[in-house]
Structure 1
């Protein structure tokens, strides 16, 4: 998969002491850009999106993309920060407001962009964050063809990320139909009220069940049908 190739490319830069980095980029840029190229014809935009992914991967390994002989990256953080400020003005003062949170959202076309926006948003929320790590596995993989590190690195459709950061009063969205009769459906918007090790106490913020407090337990989940995965993954 292209994202896995971008991670491999970044790992090579960090650990293999590659000397001809620009030539390595030119040789493999089509492969590492395949997913972005499917929906975009502007090669410059695709190039920047891939470079941003590589920058983030390098940062997660404690490295700076500026230290490598790659193309110049146009920083879009300022635009994203302005978008967040426009959609969520005075976030610190309104973080406890159910009406404020339930009427605002930022939409994105890619899961990886959603994850990046979520990280920026959670950093802006007041309070201390709690980090949940998933337990990932593959059905019928008795010989461990798929290492845990690889499973942790991917976020298939319909699954939360391996590292989930949450704060009190931050909004979350339910990804499964847990109890439709009581308002817990796929897509239900909620606000976090308390954090436990294996459960999250939330309040429903929309629909006829608005204001109801419920507990969301840690449950095993499998991704929606995803033809890009040659295996059946479980995340808990």
Structure 2
């Protein structure tokens, strides 16, 4: 379990005021409607996500991005020297998914790409994770 220090009190306060009784309502879809936390930076987003995952009793599962560079005949060794796996995995910027994503049943996620307009899966759609498998997530909106 993660322990929060005094500098994270603002995150604890915002989460507890926005998601009152979160642990007892984590699987209730209606509970999540009309609730959202907007953050000014990706660091704040990550801190809020870590705190909310710590509140959830379900075991968190880590999903990793692919961590290999594209090899071609012209740059076989050059890219490996310039872009180490540690560097690639540490990139944190808007539009690029983090290398590691931790999720558990009850986690709230938002689609960042238009997926299927016919069923309502478009940029900004919020979903609740209902099942986590090794390579597949199940969610409902």
- For the aligned pair, the TM-score class normalised by the smaller chain equals 0.7 to 0.9
> Does 2:117 correspond to 1:180?
yes
1:87 to 18, 27, 38: 18
Distance apart, 1:111 and its partner CA: 1.3
Aligned equivalents of 1:157, 1:181: Cα separation in 2: 27
| Contact kept? 1:122, 1:166, Cα under 8 Å | yes
- The C-alpha deviation readout for 1:69-106, integer Å capped at 9, x for no partner, is xxxxx942122211111111111111111011122111
SS of structure 1 residue aligned to 2:86: helix
Larger radius of gyration: 1
Unpaired runs of at least 5, structure 1: 1-73, 205-236
Aligned equivalents of 2:40, 2:67: Cα separation in 1: 25
Kindly tell me the number of residue pairs found equivalent between the two proteins.
Answer: 131
Unpaired runs of at least 5, structure 2: none
CA RMSD, Structure 1 to Structure 2 (Å):
1.9
More helix by share: 1
Aligned equivalents of 2:30, 2:39: Cα separation in 1: 22
Between stretches 90-99 and 76-85, larger displacement belongs to: 76-85
1:116 to 47, 61, 64: 47
User: More relative contact order in 1 or in 2 (CA 8 Å, sep 6+)?
Assistant: 2
Distance apart, 1:146 and its partner CA: 0.6
| Contact kept? 1:174, 1:187, Cα under 8 Å | yes
> Does 2:59 correspond to 1:128?
yes
